[in-house]
Amino acid sequence: MEETITCRLASVDDAMSMCELGQLLNEVHHTARPDIYAAPTQDVSRDLPHWSGLFEKPGHVVFIAQAGDQPVGFITASVTASAGPLMQPMNVVRIGSVCVAESFWGRGIGRSLMQRVKHWAIEQDAQDLRLTVWPFNARAARLYTEFGFETRAFEMGMRLR
């Protein structure tokens, strides 16, 4: 029998679990872009200031997916007001990180976490939901497209050193 997957609002007490799960994000990104991303580490507490810092910032949210009591995924997001003379004023929710343990892929966990953030964004009176994904992360890009995201712009960069 498969364990029931639940999603809940995370707290700073979940930061170490995020450090552990986040090593998959480190691996995927470091493998493709070692010039930008740090390698995964055995000492997962290295990343604790990054993940625990999210809980101190107003307008940020983290949801955790669990199989029983075991954390198996998370998503981070933040809301900001976008304004300027050339843009329509709106509240924008930006998804930061989405991570699901490999052994739990294909069970709809990423989609469930995305749905939680979408509902949270609506509660924040956001008019737009955004994220950034690298072209090498085809699996994630496919999930986002299936969820309803569209490509709007391309970010370009140039290495200087």
Mean pLDDT, range 36-60, rounded to an integer? 94
Structural domains of the chain sorted by starting position, each given as residue range(s) with its CATH number in brackets:
5-147 (3.40.630.30)
pLDDT in tens, 67-102: 999 999 999 999 999 878 888 889 999 999 999 999
pTM of the model as a whole: 0.93
* Amino acid 15: pLDDT: 97
* Amino acid 1: pLDDT: 60
Percent of the chain with pLDDT over 90: 90
Cα–Cα separations (whole angstroms), residue 75 to 35, 64, 113, 120: 25, 7, 6, 12
* Amino acid 82: pLDDT: 83
Percent of the chain with pLDDT over 70: 99
* Amino acid 14: pLDDT: 97
Non-local (6+) Cβ contacts of 3 within 8 A are 67, 68
* Amino acid 43: pLDDT: 95
Mean pLDDT, range 29-39, rounded to an integer? 95
Non-local (6+) Cβ contacts of 2 within 8 A are 107
Angle separating helix axes 138-147 and 109-123, nearest 10 degrees: 50
Using pLDDT thresholds of 50, 70 and 90, give the confidence band for residue 152.
very high
Q: Mean pLDDT over all residues of the chain? A: 94
DSSP H or E run through 78: strand 70-84
* Amino acid 25: pLDDT: 94
> 34 pLDDT exceeds 80?
yes
DSSP H helices, the chain, are 15-21, 23-32, 48-53, 109-123, 138-147
> 2 pLDDT exceeds 80?
no
